[in-house]
A and B are shown apart, each in its own frame.
Chain A
Amino acid sequence: MTIGQAKRSWSARFVVLIPYVWLLALFLAPFAIVAKISLSQTALAQPPYQPLLDLAAGWHGLKDFAAHLSFDNYAMLGSDWLYWLSYLKSLQVAAISTIILLIIGYPMAYGMARASRRLQPMLVMLVVLPFWTSFLIRVYAWINILQHDGLLNEALLRLYLIDAPVAWLASDTAIYIGVVYSYLPFMVLPLYATLEKMDHTLLEAAADLGCPRWKSFWRVTVPLSLPGVAAGALLCFIPICGEFVIPDLLGGSETLMIGQTLWTEFFSNRDWPVASAIAVALLGLLLVPIVFYERLQQRAIEGTR
């Protein structure tokens, strides 16, 4: 009996360990390597930075290695406008896109949640359907739609909404179109999940107590869907901040998002330390909304008790 219990608790502990092992191997370890590189200097070598950690040299080698680490790269990030602008551009694109996503996604999710039970699985599938095609291919498809003689211009010309083709590509508008299109499912699904499980009698109660429909939407539905709004907004905001493919393929060259800057540093300039510093700083920046979300969830968990 006691042996069985001990065994069970050991296996239970093992199950609990799995996510930690996962985090350690796939997040913390690579992050430590990136953080280490961000403290090095560029060098014309293979790999293109130094100092290198030589464990064979023992304690002396470790001390020597530590002495050569510096925060110069971070100081450089702070002093050069290029990086500031890139970060700000990323935050701007992410913030505006998230707001647009919310404006489009909320009515979609609301409509899905209020549709008949039989229809709902199909609607969810339709939202997920784009994932069946590669993300990259879908963004390339937008080039076709947005280019000078693309579908969009042709349609607008035929409808006499414009007189001459508009240059959609290589503009912020194209970035927003691409981002909103790509991230819509990540906004709709968490919103749908919270709206779908909302108790319909709450709306009846609101009506009974004197709320017309539009008012009970604002007084009851919206406040109760806030956890879904937060989840959807973060699920979109955070990855959009680090987005590289969409601005690179659809955006212009005058301002770069931080993902593009990082790419340039890494591949064009072969400056691994600066690229690493950019990545670490971006993570630090994104920690703010994540911590905020964590707090919100904590409150929600306490609320259900």
Chain B
Amino acid sequence: MAGGAADKPVLVRFDGVVKRFGVVTAVDRVTLDIAQGEFFALLGPSGCGKTTLLRMLAGFETPSEGEILISGHEISAVPPHKRPVNMMFQSYALFPHLTVEGNIGFGLRQEKVGRAEIAVRVEDMLALVRLKGYGKRRIDQLSGGQRQRVALARALIKKPRVLLLDEPLAALDKKLRAETQFELMELQRKLGTTFVIVTHDQEEAMIVADRIAVMDQGRLAQVGKPSEIYERPNSRWIADFIGEVSLIEGTVSQTDTIATALGPLLIEESAAKAGDKVCLALRPEKIRLSEQRPAGLEINALAGTVHEIGYRGDISLYKVRLADRSLMKVALANIGGPPPFAVNDVVWLSWAPTAGVVLTR
């Protein structure tokens, strides 16, 4: 499997894992390596099988086929309470009848650890998640963000080989979520523990993770670093799922040119052969907008009219209608001053040949 796992030893290996629920195949032949110390994200739309994959690693589901190995040991037969992994649940699943201390120390109390040592380690955990002084509180006296941190501390106290996070930030509001993402990354660097996070939020996955596995309908669609997945999506579906994109259909005419309804477009040399039906994917921020046709550019310059402007604060997203009635998305950073273009203005779009990605599927 591509994507930079080779430099570190493999900790978790999914080998041809299949999970069926009745007639539904939730996870379909997933083969995946997760390296020691990696922050790994499983990303995909709801129902894509990412949570099932995580639950199989935790031991709550058994694979219908295939093997799951941790440090080279097959763990399918190991019950959840004996696995060297701990999970932070989406609902946090904190025990309402225990205090904060009771919750965080729960895992250690199952292991015949002495009272004094538990107290010390719980204090350490409270300090780590910045909840010092909250130990005696009941769970219902905590805010959502505090509960999230108790759940994190409870999952970390046993020093698991792998920490599993099931949509850990889904219940937080946007601002708190952004802060917590950076806290999670800092924590992961500090502890060196392997984190596997499940999320449907592509932005979150790209921010926190070293590598991302994008899943679709139970299969791995692409595995790689966030930048690889964003810059070099391997399919139309990925390009469309991750971030904003405009797609232009065409046929390869030469190794560096494709013929489209908008005329010939220059591309980076790709593996596609002449005559192949392909699709050119262009990210909105890689396209320039200008009033005049850019000088010296014969192709990769198209005229259009501004159809819609979506103001987002940091950027504005322009939808430009081209000659063939299709819409292209262009992002402009709002750097101050009056907006450069208005709706119905005639504009020119241009981009470098390296800006686009040629997709064959």
Contact B93 A210 (CB under 8 A): no
Binding stretch for chain B, among A156-164, A186-194, A199-207, A229-237: A199-207
Partner pick for A223 among B82, B86, B97, CB 8 A cutoff: B97
Given the complex, which residues of B lie within 8 Å of A211, measured CB to CB? 81, 110
B311 located at the interface, meaning its Cβ lies under 8 Å from any Cβ of chain A in the complex: no
Interface size on B, residues (CB 8 A): 26
Contact A304 B140 (CB under 8 A): yes
Contact with A along B114-150 (1 / 0, CB 8 A): 0000000000000000000000001010000000000
Partner pick for B107 among A209, A223, A224, A304, CB 8 A cutoff: A209
Residue of B81, B82, B107, B138 with most partner-chain A CB within 10 A: B81
Given the complex, which residues of A lie within 8 Å of B106, measured CB to CB? 206, 209, 219
A215 located at the interface, meaning its Cβ lies under 8 Å from any Cβ of chain B in the complex: yes
Contact B111 A199 (CB under 8 A): no
B80 located at the interface, meaning its Cβ lies under 8 Å from any Cβ of chain A in the complex: yes
Contact B58 A209 (CB under 8 A): no
Partner pick for B80 among A202, A208, A304, A305, CB 8 A cutoff: A208
Contact A224 B89 (CB under 8 A): no
Given the complex, which residues of A lie within 8 Å of B95, measured CB to CB? 202, 205-206, 220
Given the complex, which residues of B lie within 8 Å of A223, measured CB to CB? 97
- Closest chain A CB from B143 CB (angstroms): 13
A150 located at the interface, meaning its Cβ lies under 8 Å from any Cβ of chain B in the complex: no
Contact B140 A303 (CB under 8 A): yes
Given the complex, which residues of A lie within 8 Å of B29, measured CB to CB? none
Contact B93 A202 (CB under 8 A): yes
B307 located at the interface, meaning its Cβ lies under 8 Å from any Cβ of chain A in the complex: no
Closest to A215 in B: B110
Contact B158 A209 (CB under 8 A): yes
Contact B96 A224 (CB under 8 A): yes
Cα–Cα distance between A170 and B346 once the two chains are bound (Å): 103
Cα–Cα distance between A304 and B97 once the two chains are bound (Å): 11
Cα–Cα distance between A188 and B17 once the two chains are bound (Å): 43
| Known A215-B110, A303-B140, A304-B140; contact A208-B87, beta-carbon cutoff 8 A | yes
Contact B93 A204 (CB under 8 A): yes
Contact A209 B154 (CB under 8 A): yes
User: Chain A: interface secondary structure?
Assistant: helix
Given the complex, which residues of A lie within 8 Å of B81, measured CB to CB? 207-212
| Known A207-B79, A208-B81, A212-B79; contact A199-B110, beta-carbon cutoff 8 A | no
Cα–Cα distance between A81 and B279 once the two chains are bound (Å): 99
Cα–Cα distance between A56 and B129 once the two chains are bound (Å): 78
Given the complex, which residues of A lie within 8 Å of B96, measured CB to CB? 224, 303
Closest to A201 in B: B93
| Known A209-B158, A210-B110, A220-B95; contact A201-B86, beta-carbon cutoff 8 A | no
Contact B91 A201 (CB under 8 A): yes
B182 located at the interface, meaning its Cβ lies under 8 Å from any Cβ of chain A in the complex: no
Given the complex, which residues of B lie within 8 Å of A205, measured CB to CB? 87, 89, 93-95
Contact with A along B69-86 (1 / 0, CB 8 A): 000000000011110011
Given the complex, which residues of B lie within 8 Å of A303, measured CB to CB? 96, 138, 140
Contact A201 B140 (CB under 8 A): no
Cα–Cα distance between A208 and B138 once the two chains are bound (Å): 21
- Closest chain B CB from A156 CB (angstroms): 42
Contact B80 A224 (CB under 8 A): no
Cα–Cα distance between A212 and B154 once the two chains are bound (Å): 17
Cα–Cα distance between A212 and B89 once the two chains are bound (Å): 18
Contact A199 B138 (CB under 8 A): no
Residues 8-39 of B at the A interface (beta carbon under 8 Å)? none
Partner pick for A305 among B89, B140, B158, CB 8 A cutoff: B140
Closest to A210 in B: B110
B237 located at the interface, meaning its Cβ lies under 8 Å from any Cβ of chain A in the complex: no
Cα–Cα distance between A288 and B137 once the two chains are bound (Å): 31
Cα–Cα distance between A68 and B60 once the two chains are bound (Å): 75
Cα–Cα distance between A304 and B141 once the two chains are bound (Å): 9
Contact with A along B133-173 (1 / 0, CB 8 A): 00000101000000000000011001000000000000000
Contact B86 A204 (CB under 8 A): no
- Closest chain A CB from B137 CB (angstroms): 12
Question: 23 A-B pairs, CB-CB below 8 angstroms?
Answer: A202-B93, A202-B95, A204-B60, A205-B94, A206-B95, A206-B106, A207-B79, A208-B59, A208-B80, A208-B81, A208-B86, A208-B87, A208-B155, A209-B106, A209-B154, A210-B82, A210-B111, A210-B158, A212-B79, A220-B95, A224-B96, A224-B97, A305-B140
A201-B93, A208-B59 given; 14 more Cβ-contact pairs under 8 Å: A199-B91, A201-B91, A204-B80, A204-B87, A204-B89, A208-B58, A208-B80, A208-B81, A208-B85, A209-B107, A209-B110, A210-B82, A210-B110, A303-B138
